[in-house]
Structure 1
């Protein structure tokens, strides 16, 4: 399916709204024409944005890399940690500008969704820094170093449709569906939907339209486009002759449809499926080509076997006939009876350049003219056997080629299966922070940085909670939620332990540190008069209850809660109690990405169906900052 300009208008508004305040956390290649942006917000769940030559959409899946992408390194170098500050569309054209800002820099990523599509990274002056496809055509040239210029505008703006736009239609006989699509740059599906709603035959010549017809078309087009852009959708996926298509407003009377909750979700399902199918085809194309070539060789070998078999049998029949003649007393090949017998077997004696042959059909066997009939018959039998042995040689080659084909078919299946994706599950509110459930099944949440430190205190601190902090510079705040009047001793110690481990103490291996807990009313969110508080900092008053933490050790595990699985990290005891599998880690060793890869690999060995749904990034997200090493991996089989 091709993305329409009116659809892009909605998508730009929707994505701009969803991505407000987010920054680029990571960028992944999907294929040579598609890129996945992981967008992060300190207080909201991560979102994933696909930018492809076929469209742009928010996705619920992460497709593993299918092909290299020539822009990925440049995009990472320039856009990581940058905020999306603006997304806009050029008129109603299928072109979107995405502006990224930060660190006193600004970049614009231009996405073209017409023709073969294109993605172009530009500076703030629209000078092209990198692009997927260079272009040099009559009216347009796009190359690195040039200033970006959009293509000439095609057609009228459907959002400004009025009756005067139809003046041209009064003098042309073009069917109205084709004229409407061409004039306003509409895909056929929308031109047809407008006319169906206006109750006008698609094949009606444009010059046959009445004033009332035109008035009805204008009214329907205005209403439909406003519904699409404003989000007043009744989205559905339709099966068409060209494959799946998604409509923001389901056409009246449409058959073979599937309703979807939102147009964005429908778009994600259809276009992500397109990328996956393209990936599977790309991975197996070269192998399939080799299979086709080998199959052609096998077909030739089958034909060769049949031909050689027929030659061998023909030669053997002539030999048998000659032996029968010799038993009747015929001794010379020149005897008329010999000549007649040969003729009955489609054979004859011929001479070429003084050499005598027995020609059987098109096959020639050299003989001595004065040889006896038995000698000639014996020579022909030998030739027949030689031909038969050639059949076996061809069959052996055929078998080797068939084995090679079977291996290639297995490789093709493996290549297609290697195109995989991870379903992004909707996360609980606390998963945007550091979190775990204590041995007493109480929720503990902690900040990742100054923004999330501020968020958990300002947004999630309640009267029944306890606040934790460590005597280490850069310590996170932790909150133990919904603490009962009889404070659980184990939970206090576990949250204090987590507070120290997630502080700078882990990165610098500072053993023997302490944490403390206080009540919510002891936390003052404003600085005393005349003083300043840094972001994520608070004034803590009154008595502090200290807990000595002797060791630095954490556990990472997969736990099931609310009918889905999550990765959590915290003190070993509650993780052991709550998780189906877990690993113990201590400070020092490898960087976070390497530890995350090892954890994912180890957990997949224990619980493949569950663990494979988590990405390396999911593991990185829960790890403490700094280097770590794994000391133990356990399959606990918690129900």
Structure 2
């Protein structure tokens, strides 16, 4: 029976890892990189070890470890905004340390520089996330925004950790017994869920303790509790003392189940397996076994698997995930149907959680409003109570004595004391109960201010609900897209076979397991640009400076200039010739190219930003454009004067497609759909919508990555920031196909 390879590190793995990672304290950060939207690489330099490469991946695979420099992926072409932010905050910073948050799958890396501290919080659970905060845990940026009932991770807000859970490595015997007794299932499930060990380590603990895994909790004896607790203590001791014997486990052809094979890891340095090439050669020569797990010490649960020992857990993790990538290349991706059912179930679970959060926000907001209204309904009683407490404090009466007096007055039947519950001297508050609901009040504030504070809290909760509504709409759209692709997969088999037969002479780039990267950055790529379906270059300014530059430097005889009637559009130049070629006024540019250039001009103007779907565009020849104003007029930067007649293209529709080109060069392209669809191997159309530019770019990136068998290719050439380069300013949404 085949074992599914491990894709995510466990809480036990992270507990073992922090000690090794902590040994790099004092290393200085050189540079940060972001691959796609889920893999962060930090390049550091350690005084003793030299170059240190730290990988943080939070996508389908969730891992943290160092890697050997020779195994570092090539740097992406243009660093995205998130990577630039990390470089600005971390360049030259010292690595201070790393901690695991409680026993959760969360690591917090701390970096310090003269101008401030930076915390990088890596979430290796759920959808995964990397949040960057300052010393006070204010979120600077994060790969994903989180808006749930239980927690929020949004730039500008304070980072919220998940709710605390039981830490089984520090749990007392009494608390352990209580957790076990509270369960209504068997021993192994109780260890996995109530004690938070997860499935594998729950089974391992049962095996080490000699306790039947399926034993019902009600039938478990005191002796069996004791043996399990001792097994947990031994595990915790090994982790605290870093008593590790890392293993990489394998199964498949060549696995005789005989146990350990010798590792070539002699030096135990920055995650490196000294002679990793030899290990790879042995693998090729001796066996077709594939890796299935990596652990910080040998597991009795894996006794039947072959294993390789490593000096360091970092080294074992590096080898495991490197080999996992090699194993993943072996099947033909074209034969693998995506697990649509799992994706649909996952999104439905998220929607259920978000609906619960929305309902919770409604209930919380209503509860705060009801508290405020209760204060006004019992105004006299509450005011008397607050006045009594304030007067006592003014007379120097201690908080404890005030509580005692109010309790006595309550027993004696005094009306003003009846709502009293408790006081908190540290916070300066008194808690009362009105019609069954406890309400905490600031003593120094009157009834009105306390009520206003409750109304304000209700309003804040209602605003959180608005964010949750936007999030659930995103999830529903993603779910609809997955269902569409599932239906397409199931119904279009015959069409795909026909397309394969027709396209035998053409390379199917989407299905290629490895797409070669061929880049050749051109002078015009810093502007907005595209090539028309007739192969004419169109360039547009991104701002007033670029508009100025286009007219002064790149506008030549024979070119056409286009601009929208609406204010706030780019200067758009339809080049008759390339700047390296001799210009001529005799070139007749096809109407199709003029129309595509007009669509480009209107799409990247304020027309799109305003949510409109069409606008008027005018076209003039290059010699009608001047930077010299008429007498008495003034031209702003980026502006220009038009002399002579204009040709108008009324009601030009907006339209933008973004795609990936594979030949002659590999790059992201974008512009009018009629032009881009003929140049890219796959495209996605967008229209004006409510998703911010960065959010729309992430959605496009994820869709493109799923379309290519070679996901690493998309990561290298089409980051969300590179895609955003081709999206119009303002909101967008992906068109349904």
Same fold (TM > 0.5): no
Structure having the higher Rg? 1
**Structure with greater proportional strand content:** 1
Instruction: Please indicate the TM-score interval, normalised by the length of the shorter structure.
Output: 0.3 to 0.5
TM-score (norm 2): 0.39
Query: Normalization by structure 1: what TM-score?
Result: 0.45
